[in-house]
């Protein structure tokens, strides 16, 4: 690992030629871009949990530095997608959101309360859930005859994936454990998230992630950790899923290791449940370092696409890089950015596997974190290193070194000002936790907008600053499913609003063109 400024050579940046050429090429490429008005056969929605703009920036630099470049000039796979917008992430009752209310927004098209899953804002207890249930993009795709899949590096019952299939007013109701979900909840009409996945959603073709403990009774013991299952109702939901598949004579597989996933021939199963960890899956850094037999998010994404694309009607796949968020909550930027890099590489693999003529790819985040980059560091400064700068401010007012990366709050908060130096040798370690201003047990989310990147059919509808719930609507309109299917929205497949470049100087909306012609005809 290099220190100070990685012996950066940015001599090509000094003159004007590079920058003039960059913008001319970009303008030309944008003018020549074809606006894709096709109906999306397939949709892949990538969600980087906690992947705010500062995470994208730091992750981009880290990705470049891993390839022995300065890093700032790197372009990630998500940033290579054609269209960009910003998403307003607040919940209806919270300025800074959580992952449950945000997931409900981008997966159902309706904003809701903080901590609520798959229900609108009227759900406040078990008795109000039933009348507040919302269908999701996964439901809409299934009703349209498409295959559907979920990939996550967290528990599959965690907030982001569960809004696709569950309906609860409290996100912690992952299992009937007698603590977060009690007999009283059950008697009042609530159902835990894991049971909803197995009982109500047998049509889901691919489920990859962690969280086996939420599906197993306390009588089942993990031989590696001696941990027990969480359920006190005695149900073994994994066995129930397998029996349901057998009774329906479906081709299915249950997987628990990366080796099993990689050995699976996609033609051997139409339904695959893969629970690769008792709890959340491992951070990518630890998975690689400790040679853990779990699949990477790249491998899970590749296999999911191979399984789902067999359906001639297409598919919808949700892929979450969920551990970015969990690392940030611990003020551990290194693990967060390592997970960002592999998440971005999964996007690149997906782009290579599909045709953007008929596949909409959307990348976004549910929320940001109070994660910052600063300090006037020189070009190519190691992203996890101490600030090296030609400006004043290399040391704090107490004469101590400090890092470019920091947090507003979290477990690494300083109770008193640090007056001693830290070194690159310390800050670039996997276990280093970046400093925070306010000491909390758990670092919090940020409340600012997050980016939406997209390519494929109707991706140009992602434009400007929009409510987070709008994401689900663009996905649905692109594929003509859910509220925009041919029954609910007459003419979805005809009202595509395609834009065509003319002489690199102007674009005209086809529907507007015919409207103008109609006016001229009536006048003359």
Annotation: binding site: 49, 158, 160, 320, 325, 329, 366-367, 445
If you search the block for the tokens 């909550």, which residue do you land on? 329
Concerning whether 132 is annotated as a catalytic residue, the answer is no
CA 450/CA 446 separation, integer angstroms: 10
What are the binding residues for Zn(2+)? 49, 325, 329, 366-367, 445
Q: What is the H or E stretch that residue 501 is in?
A: strand 499-502
CA 396 to chain centre: 36
Whether 330 contacts 15, CB under 8 Å = no
Q: Are strands 147-155 and 206-210 parallel, antiparallel or unpaired?
A: parallel
If you search the block for the tokens 């406040």, which residue do you land on? 124
Residues 6+ apart with CB under 8 A from 496: 37, 38, 39, 458, 510
For 167-314, where are the alpha helices, taking DSSP H only? 183-187, 193-200, 237-247, 258-263, 284-289, 297-308
CA 507/CA 356 separation, integer angstroms: 21
What are the binding residues for Mg(2+)? 49, 158, 160, 320
Say how many C-beta atoms besides its own lie within 10 A of residue 399's C-beta: 9
Per the structure block, which two tokens stand in for 481? 């499913």
Q: Which of 99, 136, 455, 469 is catalytic?
A: 99
For 477, list phi and psi in degrees, rounded to 5: -65, -40
Q: What is the H or E stretch that residue 152 is in?
A: strand 147-155
Residues 6+ apart with CB under 8 A from 281: 153, 154, 209, 210, 287, 294, 323
Catalytic residue positions?
A: 99
């Amino acid at each position: 690992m290099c220190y100070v400024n990685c012996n950066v050579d940015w001599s090509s940046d000094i003159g004007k030629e590079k920058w003039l050429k960059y913008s001319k090429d970009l303008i030309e490429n944008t003018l020549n871009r074809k606006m894709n008005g096709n109906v999306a056969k397939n949709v892949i929605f990538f969600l980087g949990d906690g992947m705010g703009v500062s995470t994208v920036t730091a992750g981009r630099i880290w990705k470049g530095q891993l390839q022995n470049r300065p890093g700032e000039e790197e372009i990630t796979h998500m940033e290579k997608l054609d269209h960009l917008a910003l998403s307003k992430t607040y919940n209806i009752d919270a300025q800074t959101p959580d992952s449950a209310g945000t997931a409900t927004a981008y997966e159902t098209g309706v904003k809701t309360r903080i901590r609520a899953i798959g229900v609108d804002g009227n759900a406040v207890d078990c008795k109000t859930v039933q009348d507040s249930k919302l269908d999701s993009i996964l439901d809409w795709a299934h009703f349209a005859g498409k295959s559907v899949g979920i990939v996550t590096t967290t528990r599959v019952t965690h907030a982001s994936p569960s809004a696709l299939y569950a309906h609860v007013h409290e996100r912690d109701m992952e299992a009937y454990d007698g603590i977060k979900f009690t007999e009283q909840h059950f008697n009042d009409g609530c159902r835990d998230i894991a049971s909803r996945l197995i009982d109500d959603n047998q049509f889901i073709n691919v489920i990859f992630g962690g969280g086996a403990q939420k599906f197993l009774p306390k009588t089942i013991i993990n031989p590696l950790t001696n941990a027990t299952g969480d359920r006190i109702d005695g149900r073994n939901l994994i066995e129930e899923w397998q029996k349901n598949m057998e009774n329906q004579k479906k081709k299915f597989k249950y997987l628990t290791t990366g080796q099993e996933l990689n050995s699976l021939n996609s033609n051997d199963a139409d339904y695959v449940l893969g629970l690769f960890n008792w709890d959340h899956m491992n951070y990518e850094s630890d998975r690689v370092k400790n040679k853990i037999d779990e699949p990477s998010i790249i491998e899970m994404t590749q296999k999911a696409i191979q399984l789902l694309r067999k359906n001639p009607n297409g598919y919808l796949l949700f892929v979450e890089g969920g551990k970015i968020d969990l690392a940030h909550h611990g003020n551990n930027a290194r693990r967060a950015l390592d997970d960002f890099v592999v998440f971005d590489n999964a996007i690149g693999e997906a782009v290579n596997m599909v045709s953007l003529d008929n596949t909409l790819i959307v990348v976004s985040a549910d929320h940001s974190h109070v994660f910052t980059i600063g300090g006037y560091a020189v070009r190519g400064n190691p992203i996890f290193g101490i600030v090296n700068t030609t400006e004043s401010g290399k040391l704090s007012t107490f004469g101590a070194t400090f890092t470019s990366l920091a947090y507003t709050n979290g477990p690494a908060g300083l109770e008193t000002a640090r007056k001693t130096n830290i070194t690159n040798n310390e800050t670039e370690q996997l276990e280093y936790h970046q400093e925070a201003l306010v000491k909390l047990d758990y670092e919090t989310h940020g409340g600012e907008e997050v980016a939406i990147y997209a390519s494929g059919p109707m991706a140009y509808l992602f434009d400007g600053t929009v409510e987070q719930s709008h994401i689900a609507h663009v996905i649905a309109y692109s594929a003509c499913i859910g509220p925009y299917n041919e029954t609910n929205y007459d003419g979805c497949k005809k009202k595509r609003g395609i834009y065509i470049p003319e002489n690199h100087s102007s674009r005209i909306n086809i529907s507007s063109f015919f409207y103008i012609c109609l006016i001229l005809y009536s006048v003359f």
